[in-house]
Amino acid sequence: MADDMLKSDNLPQNPERASLEGRNKFMGFWFFLGGETVLFASLFGTYLALRNSPAEGPTASEIFGLELVFIMTIVLLTSSLTSVYAMYHMKNGDFKKMQLWLGITVALGFTFLGFEIYEFYHYVHGYHFGYTTSAFSSAFYTLVGFHGGHVAFGLAWIISLMIRNAKRGINLYNAPKFYIASLYWHFIDVVWVFIFTVVYLMGKVG
Amino acid sequence: MADNTNSNEKQLYYRKKHKEEMKHHILTFAMMIAFTLIAFGLVIAEVSALFTIPIILVLAAVQVLFQLYYFMHMNQEGHEMPALMIYSGIFAALLTVLALATIVWW
């Protein structure tokens, strides 16, 4: 009986919360996300206080290009949807399709990260806008770079899960792991919504 | 055998339910794209800052609520504790932003 429950064609509803371990992970992860919210808030607050202190360096409206930010926003938003698709297939017990959609999510994540690295490179070499240029530049790189670090970590996390569980299929043991990684991925997009609004759009408006 | 038929029916029912949820997710995604377009549009059209900034902040907040309630499934049952956690986080986050942006670095 217990064995049956672990097979992917006979999973209970909400497999991510069907075991005690899964429920604990679920609860603990939301607790963690509450803490992450405050962590990012401290970086946003610092950025808001220092964004008008460019010293001798360039100002926000001089360096930000909205085209690239728009593309990055759409890429990350789409990757949020594809990870919803992955969870949809997980709940239907379709492991292959879940892996496929997670793969697409990872590809979009790498695209986003690539654009961000290009963006930073462009600022440093095109505008001499380094980390230590001004209070504004330090606050900017810390906030946006921290988000980029979260993207990189999320990618490593999802890829590890995909490889580790490639031959296992979905079961009650790994369903919570996949579910929580996808929550993390959505949270990254939540933070990005505020970054493109507060940093880039408000930076352009002045 | 009877048990098997029953579980098949159940599975069909849940698949249908998941499909229904997926429709909501796609609708949510379309709305989020629309909000993003409006926010970028306002800034590109150079509408006055006094008008633009509050609007884009509200759009961001709404977009995040969509993300939390639909993509992160907070609209489903059993999310009382997550709601408590995330709203406590948001409360502390608002205080943090307020304090840092107004007093601390002054």
pLDDT in tens, B65-83: 999 999 999 999 889 999 9
**Chain B nearest-CA residue for A29:** B82
Claim to verify: residue B64 and residue B88 sit in the same structural domain: no
Same domain membership, residue B81 and residue B70: no
Q: Which residue of B has its CA nearest to A69?
A: B40
| B60 and B83 share one domain | no
Whether A49 is in a domain gets the answer no
Range of the domain at B35: 2-75
Summarised one tens digit per residue, pLDDT across range A12-69 is 888 888 889 999 999 999 999 999 999 999 999 999 999 999 999 999 999 999 999 9
- Which chain A positions have a beta carbon within 8 Å of B100's beta carbon? 42, 44-46, 48-49
Separation of alpha carbons A168 and A7, rounded Å: 10
**Inside any domain, residue A18:** no
pLDDT at B8: 77
Contacts of B67 in chain A (CB under 8 A): 80, 186, 189-190, 193
Using CB atoms, which residue from A41, A183, A206 is nearest to B97? Answer: A41
Per-residue pLDDT of chain A (206 residues), as tens digits, is 445 455 656 778 888 888 899 999 999 999 999 999 999 999 999 999 999 999 999 999 999 999 999 999 999 999 999 999 999 999 988 999 999 999 999 999 999 999 999 999 999 999 999 999 999 999 999 999 999 999 999 999 999 999 999 998 898 899 999 999 999 999 999 999 999 999 999 999 87
Q: What percent of chain B has pLDDT over 90?
A: 69
Domain count across chain A: 1
Count of domains forming chain B: 2
Please check whether residues B59 and B100 belong to one and the same domain. no
* A135-164 helix and A95-127 helix, angle to the nearest 10 degrees: 160
Separation between Cα atoms, residue B63 and residue B67, nearest integer Å:
6
On whether residue A50 sits in a domain, the answer given is: no
Show the domain range for A105: 66-206
Same domain as B71, residue B82: no
Residues A86/A87/A93/A94 CA torsion (nearest 10 deg) = -10
What's A101's domain CATH number?
1.20.120.80
Q: What is the interface pTM, i.e. ipTM, of the complex? A: 0.89
Residue B5 pLDDT: 62
Same domain, B82 and B45: no
